[in-house]
Chain A
Amino acid sequence: DVVMTQSPLSLPVTLGQPASLSCRSSQSLVHTDGNIYLSWFQQRPGQPPRRLIYKISDRDSGVPDRFSGSGSGTDFTLKISRVEAEDVAIYYCMQGTHWPYTFGQGTKLQIK
Chain B
Amino acid sequence: EMLLVESGGGVVQPGRSLRLSCAGSGSLFDVHGMHWVRQAPGKGLEWVSGFISGTGRVDYADSVKGRFTVSRDNAENFLHLQMNSLTEDDTAFYYCAKDRDPGGLKYWGQGALVIVSS
Beta-carbon contact of B45 and A39 below 8 Å: no
Q: Mark A28-45, 1 if CB is under 8 A from B, else 0.
A: 000101010101010100
Residue of A41, A49, A97, A105 touching B103 (CB-CB under 8 A): A97
Beta-carbon contact of B111 and A101 below 8 Å: no
Q: Using CB atoms and an 8 Å cutoff, list the residues of chain A in contact with chain B.
A: 31, 33, 35, 37, 39, 41, 43, 48-51, 54-55, 60, 92, 94-97, 99-106
| Cβ of A4 to closest chain B Cβ, rounded Å | 10
B30 at the interface (CB under 8 A from A): no
Most chain-A Cβ atoms within 10 A of its Cβ — which of B61, B101, B103, B109?
Answer: B103
Q: How many chain-B residues does the 8 Å CB contact rule pick out?
A: 22
Number of cross-chain contacts by CB at 8 Å: 66
B99 cross-chain contacts in A, Cβ below 8 A: 96
Residue of A31, A33, A94 touching B105 (CB-CB under 8 A): A94
Residue of B44, B47, B106, B111 touching A105 (CB-CB under 8 A): B44
B111 cross-chain contacts in A, Cβ below 8 A: 48
Q: Using CB atoms and an 8 Å cutoff, list the residues of chain B in contact with chain A.
A: 35, 37, 44-47, 50, 57, 59, 61, 95, 99, 101-106, 108-111
Beta-carbon contact of A101 and B105 below 8 Å: yes
Beta-carbon contact of A95 and B103 below 8 Å: yes
Name the residue on A nearest B101 (C-beta).
A54
Per the bound structure, the CA–CA distance linking A99 and B61 in Å amounts to: 9
Per the bound structure, the CA–CA distance linking A97 and B59 in Å amounts to: 14
| Cβ of B92 to closest chain A Cβ, rounded Å | 13
Beta-carbon contact of A96 and B44 below 8 Å: no
Beta-carbon contact of A35 and B102 below 8 Å: yes
Beta-carbon contact of B106 and A101 below 8 Å: no
